[in-house]
Amino acid sequence: MTRRLLLGCSAVGNALVEHARDERGGRDDLVAITDDTGWVSTLRDRNVATVEADPTDPSTYPDAAAVVLIASGDAERNVAAARAARERYPEALIVAHLGTAPTDEQRAAVEAVADRVVDPVESVADRVFEAVGLDDGRGSDVDAEFAGVDGGSGEKPARLLSALRGLSGPLLVVAHDNPDPDAIASALGLARIAASIGVEADACYGGEIAHQENRALVNLLDIGLRSFDEIDLDAYGGVALVDHSRAGINDSLPEGHPVDVVVDHHPPRGPVAGSFVDIRPAVGATSTLISEYLSRYGIAPERDLATALLYGIRIDTKDFTRATAIDDFEAAAALLAHADESTLERVESPSVSPETLRVLAAAIENRDVRGSVAASCVGEIADRDALAQAAERLLDLEDVTVTFVYGYMDGVIYGSARARGADLDAGELLRDALDPVGSAGGHASMAGAQVPLGILSEVSESESLADVVEAFVAGRFFEALDDAPAQPTGLPPEFPTD
């Protein structure tokens, strides 16, 4: 007899399968039925007996089952599956996941036939384990790993929802300026979480989305990210920061503006304010954290969101070769079942502009290498995003671990720095070098700077503006390099860690 039958699959169903297998030492007495081809592939890869069929059709069910787990993300299909399972197995224990955003009628319909009901927002996964006898004896460890959402005041998922529910109005999710894919995806993901509990949310960014791959991501997925210039801060009841942790530092908020929620993976340089703060430097991408929350709440990400989150993880970990944790692999594996791989291929292979190629050639030609650091002035530019791509490519030079590429346009000097395998903090290095004369900052592995040309533009006929800019910027950069700040290795003592 089939002891356990899984009807439909989602992040919740996937988690139940994983823990059921752990609890039984890898021995399987579970059969899954789902018509989601992504989950079929994932479950079969785990050697779970999986039938690709409609989970609401009782003709596909085995002859008998002691426990039926209903775990689709679709509330209406869960109602149909619960009714079919109860009719087919009158004596079975039926545990039903409500699905995403169930109506009152759907909730009542499931409760009428199921023995236990799992609310995607209000339940903790270990309640399900208890209901079907899957408690693996780890006690609080299970609570910690599956901190569903009402397990106790110390659990992050519970406190995140509490913080969102406590807002006096809509939530504004702020990505850092000139956002990368990780920031873009994380902002959209947190807005999706807020929407799942009825909290209106807008995701926004400052600066520009200039990198051609980032533009391709936004355009191909039709991502609804608002420009900060369109935002009226007074219209929002709360602010969340993703992929950075301090208001007014690398974002368009006023410095010190009140913040309610922070989700980031970069070590902070100082205390971080917020009623809810989740910063995990050991994880490779903020998208990983957002994906984890979606999974804990039983929210199946829509295809566009899953694609964006997967791309965010891949970019920030450089395809899992840089600062990667097990959590990143697990999040990516779960997202892969929902992502659009053809769109990812198109995002990753955008056309390259002639300006980008020109800047890259100039960066290579004009490089000034001192030890493991390469700096390059590329002169006048037409697209400042080409600087970041050149800085990234220069890291491929042998024995180079830090790069800085800079040029000027429209009366401003722009610079982009990258670090890989270096002890120094690129963001703090640029702040030390150029913040006193402009603005600079970023993260330990990537940073940017802007400096007004000012009187530097008033060069004589015998001088080259590019030479003047190079002498000024390189002088400050290499001077700061002599006393470069090290990368932060943990959280400041006053940083809240619970």
pLDDT for res 2: 53
Q: Which tens digits make up the pLDDT trace of 332-377?
A: 999 998 988 888 877 776 667 788 899 999 999 999 999 999 999 9
Give bridge partners of residue 424 from the DSSP assignment. Answer: 486
Give bridge partners of residue 116 from the DSSP assignment. Answer: 95
Residue 145 has pLDDT above 80, yes or no: no
Query: Helix H segments across 46-122?
Result: 75-88, 104-113
Residue 469 has pLDDT above 90, yes or no: yes
Q: Which tens digits make up the pLDDT trace of 436-462?
A: 898 887 777 778 899 999 878 777 666
Q: Which tens digits make up the pLDDT trace of 47-78?
A: 888 999 999 999 999 888 888 899 888 889 99
Q: Which residue has the higher pLDDT, 282 or 146?
A: 282
When pLDDT is averaged across residues 274-280 and rounded to a whole number, the result is: 91
2-146: CATH architecture: 3-Layer(aba) Sandwich (3.40)
Spatial separation of the C-alpha atoms in residues 294 and 228, rounded to whole Å: 25
Range with the lowest mean pLDDT among 4-18, 180-194, 197-211? 4-18
pLDDT for res 43: 84
Q: Which residue has the higher pLDDT, 24 or 144?
A: 24
In sequence order, the 6+-apart residues with CB closer than 8 A to the CB of 201 are 170, 171, 172, 173, 190, 191, 194, 195
pTM to 2 decimal places = 0.57
- The band of 132, judged by pLDDT with boundaries at 50, 70 and 90, is very low
CB 55 within 8 A of CB 81: yes
CB 278 within 8 A of CB 292: no
Pairing of strands 261-264, 93-97: unpaired
pLDDT for res 155: 66
CA proximity to 429, closest of 414, 453, 447, 412: 447
Owner of token pair 């290498």: 369
Q: What share of the chain is helix, strand, coil (3-state, %, to 5)?
A: 40, 20, 40
Residue 284: what are its φ and ψ, rounded to 5°? -80, -15
Range with the lowest mean pLDDT among 139-153, 287-301, 375-389? 139-153
Strands (E), 206-279: 226-227, 238-242, 261-264, 276-279
In sequence order, the 6+-apart residues with CB closer than 8 A to the CB of 330 are none
pLDDT for res 154: 34
- The band of 131, judged by pLDDT with boundaries at 50, 70 and 90, is very low
When pLDDT is averaged across residues 386-414 and rounded to a whole number, the result is: 92
- The band of 120, judged by pLDDT with boundaries at 50, 70 and 90, is low
Spatial separation of the C-alpha atoms in residues 206 and 200, rounded to whole Å: 20
- The band of 162, judged by pLDDT with boundaries at 50, 70 and 90, is confident
Q: Which tens digits make up the pLDDT trace of 176-199?
A: 988 889 999 999 999 999 998 889
Q: Which tens digits make up the pLDDT trace of 213-248?
A: 777 788 777 777 899 999 999 999 999 999 999 898
pLDDT for res 491: 47
Buried/exposed code over 109-142 (b: 16+ C-beta within 10 A; e: otherwise):
bbeebbebbbbbbebbbbbbbebbebeeeeeeeb
Give bridge partners of residue 226 from the DSSP assignment. Answer: 204
Spatial separation of the C-alpha atoms in residues 323 and 328, rounded to whole Å: 10
Identify the CATH assignment for 158-348 out of 3.40.50.720, 3.90.1640.10, 1.10.460.10, 3.10.129.10.
3.90.1640.10
Give bridge partners of residue 197 from the DSSP assignment. Answer: none
152 conformational bin, left if phi > 0, alpha if psi -120 to 50, beta if neither: left
Residue 143 has pLDDT above 50, yes or no: no
When pLDDT is averaged across residues 76-89 and rounded to a whole number, the result is: 92
CA 394 to chain centre: 26
- Write the CATH number of the domain with boundaries 354-481: 3.10.310.30
- The band of 128, judged by pLDDT with boundaries at 50, 70 and 90, is very low
Task: Map residue 136 onto helix, strand or coil.
Answer: coil
Task: Map residue 51 onto helix, strand or coil.
Answer: strand
Average model confidence (pLDDT) across the chain: 82
- The band of 267, judged by pLDDT with boundaries at 50, 70 and 90, is confident
CA proximity to 332, closest of 317, 313, 308: 313
When pLDDT is averaged across residues 375-393 and rounded to a whole number, the result is: 91
CA proximity to 272, closest of 262, 285, 280: 262
pLDDT for res 55: 93
When pLDDT is averaged across residues 377-384 and rounded to a whole number, the result is: 92
Q: Delimit the domains of the chain by residue range.
A: 2-146, 158-348, 354-481
